[in-house]
A and B are shown apart, each in its own frame.
Chain A
Amino acid sequence: MAEVVIKVEGLCKKYRLGVIGTGMLSKDLNIYWAKLRGKPHPYAKIDGDPKSFEEGDFWALKDLNFEVNQGEVLGIVGSNGAGKSTLLKILSRVTTPTLGEIKLDGRMASLLEVGTGFHPELTGRENIFLNGAILGMTKQEIRSKLDEIIAFSGVEQHIDTPVKRYSSGMYVRLAFAVAAHLEPEILVVDEVLAVGDADFQKKCLGKMRDVSRNDGRTVLFVSHSLQAVKNLCDRALWLDQGRLMDMGEVTNVVNQYASNKKALQWLKEFSGPDEAIGNQWAKVKKAQIIPQLSSPDEIFDIRTPIKVVFQFWNLQDAVRLSVELAVYAYGGECIFVVPSASAVYQKGLIHSECMIPGNLLNNGSYFISLYVVKDTTTTLFEWHECLSFDLEDYRGEIQWYGKWHGAVRPKLPFVVKPIEEHGFNLKGEI
């Protein structure tokens, strides 16, 4: 019978939204003064209720209860904003819960970031000590593991060079080497493995697995990569909007999470114009993402073409309309905008569809925004970030697993071939 080492009971976290104070004493006094005189809020948003002084609450975590046994590797999955980071922050004691408590048995260390507190002017060796101490090691402990850490990082030759001269890879390797030698009984890891080259990633994953299997340590692991969670974890916990949706054997939970996510984010549908969102010119019937997979077992990744369907009720007669599709990256930058051809339509339901080809977008999370445009110039209706989807990575024969840069990852014809040259060979002999 394994021992329970983490016990989460009724954990809630509330954030206050809106006016938590403006951060300026002068402005807060100004607001207070306006309130006294019954004047509108001086810093209210234009589109907000100008009389409102109320602050909204946002529950990032709602009544979480779970237990983790010793030696377990628990993966935490959930879409953005599900409360994963909040949970980790509370576990790491960076912030406190609003209600409930977490009981821990054993020394805990958390890695929300590698290399926290690294100072560029200090040498690698000095940074090992500094970073180790920040993570909770004593000088003695660090000294006894120093050789191991240096060897693990693979930057022996540069260990007495200031880290500002390190390449980013060396920097991360050194930082992870320190973290990997923490040897806590409970380790909380955020998505820190997304950095570094493939060899090093493998080394880190291996180290994490060893830590739990051989030494009976407990690991909590958060990742967007469902693959990594499946590979590394025994059990998984699925969070959605601050609630615990499911917890159990990793494959089950991850699969459930993945299918649920699709259903929610790939389709928005309304039964009639009355309850649909929209305005006096257009009402939405349906917006949907349909990945063009040849079989249901196929993985939806960067190679998959995506059909976007948009149906709406046009509420005007004889109007020249076109539809626009915009794809945004998770960070908010627009990847591209595609307009349809314009044509004159009468009142009624209009169907539009657009195909985003496979091998175009890079892996990552994307939002789709849809627009109805009149006379190619006036936007009648815009539906911002109505759909979203995640593209899984696919590397094929490429053995490198670092972050693939770029907003897009198009597959372009690339010709590489040897050229016959006469009278010259590479040995330099004519």
Chain B
Amino acid sequence: MQQEDKKKWSLIIKPKASWFDLNLHDLWRYRDLLFMFVRRDFVSAYKQTILGPLWYLIQPLLTTIMFIVVFDKVAEIPTDGAPPALFYLSGLVIWNYFAACLNKTSVTFTANASIFGKVYFPRLIMPLSNVVSALIGFGIQLALLFVLLVYFQVFLEVPFYFNGYLALMPLLLLLVAALGLGFGIIISSLTTKYRDLALLVGFGTQLLMFATPVIYPLSFFEGKYKTFMLANPLTPIIELFRYSILGVGDFNMTYLTYSICFTLMALAIGVLIFNKIEKSFMDVI
């Protein structure tokens, strides 16, 4: 009997794995699936409506125009000397990517219950693919931003401010994605127990935008308000992004380090909770 138990089993299905049994090996094995999901999102977004991809342009454009009217013209909030259109749009590009990551990943369990109930694959593939698919929208909006930058350069003679920090762009993107993913999967894990949390997410992201320097620069704040704004890990990211393309922004490496630590924490907690929930949620949902 003992002898037989020494046999090598390729898989053992056990009641409850520990918190740290992340099974990253499986995640790697299913990497093709991640790209299949991204492809599916991409193709279906394009096939369904002509407005689908166009919406990625209309939304930031209209929002930027609205911000110019309300916050620049009416409220006269400064934009650190950058052209308001570029200032708002650069903030929005980052913000929209964060919001897209958060919104999509926060419904992972509820939106995919039918697939999750029928077949096993590492559940983390799903939110990861969402984050990658959201890059499509981000790419389109980033292109729009650069078109606008060129337009300002050529017709309005606002000079380029591109500087070396532009090289940090991939890091910023990674941070935003990780932050959106981290919070998203925490929320998606909690919504398996409490559905009404999903309502809070939509509302919460709206509010969070006002705690992020999208419509006003960080330099607009002082004292405890500034501390409050800086507590938001997105703040240094947006400020740095603006600095790298517009040459304006209140930013230093301490802020960024805080941002990185915060993001890693959020992601780690998210992955742990997600990993815990994914094993039991089919019985609850």
Contact = CB atoms under 8 A, between A and B. Distances in A.
Interface of A: 4, 7, 15-16, 20-21, 23-26, 28, 89-108, 110, 112-113, 116-117, 119, 121-122, 126, 129-130, 133-139, 162
Nearest to A164: B47
Given A94-B120, A104-B13, A106-B10, A89 B194 contact: no
Given A28-B194, A92-B120, A103-B9, A129 B14 contact: no
A96 B16 contact: yes
Contact of B282 (A91, A95, A102, A122): A95
Given A95-B282, A105-B7, A105-B10, A130 B118 contact: no
A102 B44 contact: no
25 contacts: A4-B4, A7-B9, A15-B283, A24-B194, A92-B120, A94-B119, A94-B120, A95-B280, A95-B282, A97-B13, A98-B15, A99-B15, A103-B11, A104-B9, A105-B7, A105-B10, A108-B11, A117-B115, A119-B40, A119-B44, A121-B43, A122-B43, A126-B39, A126-B40, A138-B29
Of B8, B32, B47, B118, chain A has the most CB atoms within 10 Å of the CB of: B118
B191 to A, nearest CB: 9
Nearest to A113: B118
Contacts of B74: none
Contacts of B58: none
Contacts of B196: 24-26
B33 A23 contact: no
A138 B36 CA distance: 10
Given A94-B282, A122-B43, A136 B10 contact: no
Contacts of B167: none
B117 interface: yes
Contacts of B262: none
B160 interface: no
A110 B32 contact: no
Contacts of A110: 119-120
B226 interface: no
A108 B35 CA distance: 22
A90 B118 CA distance: 11
Given A95-B283, A96-B16, A122-B44, A133 B33 contact: yes
Given A24-B196, A94-B119, A103 B16 contact: no
Nearest to B15: A97
A112 B40 CA distance: 22
Q: Which 8 A-B pairs have the closest CB atoms?
A: A93-B120, A25-B194, A133-B33, A103-B9, A102-B13, A133-B36, A104-B11, A121-B44
B78 to A, nearest CB: 40
A116 B40 contact: no
Given A101-B13, A104-B10, A134-B121, A122 B40 contact: yes
Given A28-B194, A112-B118, A134-B119, 6 more contacts: A92-B119, A98-B15, A103-B9, A116-B115, A116-B119, A134-B115
A116 B13 contact: no
A18 B194 CA distance: 16
A71 B196 CA distance: 48
B30 interface: yes
A113 B15 CA distance: 24
A21 B119 contact: no
Nearest to A107: B10
Nearest to B43: A122
Interface string B184-222: 000000000111110000000000000000000000000
A94 B116 contact: yes
Nearest to A8: B13
Contacts of B10: 104-107
A135 B197 CA distance: 31
A359 B33 CA distance: 49
Interface residues of B, number: 41
Contact of A104 (B12, B15, B37, B115): B12
A7 B13 CA distance: 10
Nearest to B115: A117
Nearest to B16: A96
Contacts of A92: 118-120
Contacts, number: 123
Contacts of A25: 194, 196-197
A135 B118 CA distance: 10
Contact of A90 (B12, B13, B43, B116): B13
A29 B233 CA distance: 31
Nearest to B14: A101
B47 A112 contact: no
A105 B15 contact: no
B161 to A, nearest CB: 42
A113 B119 CA distance: 8
Interface in B60-86: none
Contact of A100 (B15, B43, B193): B15
A105 B4 CA distance: 13
Given A99-B15, A101-B13, A116 B118 contact: yes
B236 to A, nearest CB: 32
Nearest to B12: A103
A93 B33 CA distance: 17
A25 B199 CA distance: 11
Contact of A162 (B4, B15, B47, B120): B47
B119 A102 contact: no
B252 interface: no
Contacts of A113: 118-119
B18 interface: no
B53 to A, nearest CB: 14
Contacts of B3: none
B280 A96 contact: yes
A117 B36 CA distance: 11
Nearest to B200: A25
Contacts of A122: 40, 43-44
A101 B15 contact: yes
A90 B16 CA distance: 12
Contacts of B194: 21, 23-25, 28
Contacts of A126: 39-40, 43
A181 to B, nearest CB: 16
Nearest to B32: A139
A393 to B, nearest CB: 26
Contacts of A7: 9
Contacts of A136: 30, 121
A23 B195 contact: yes
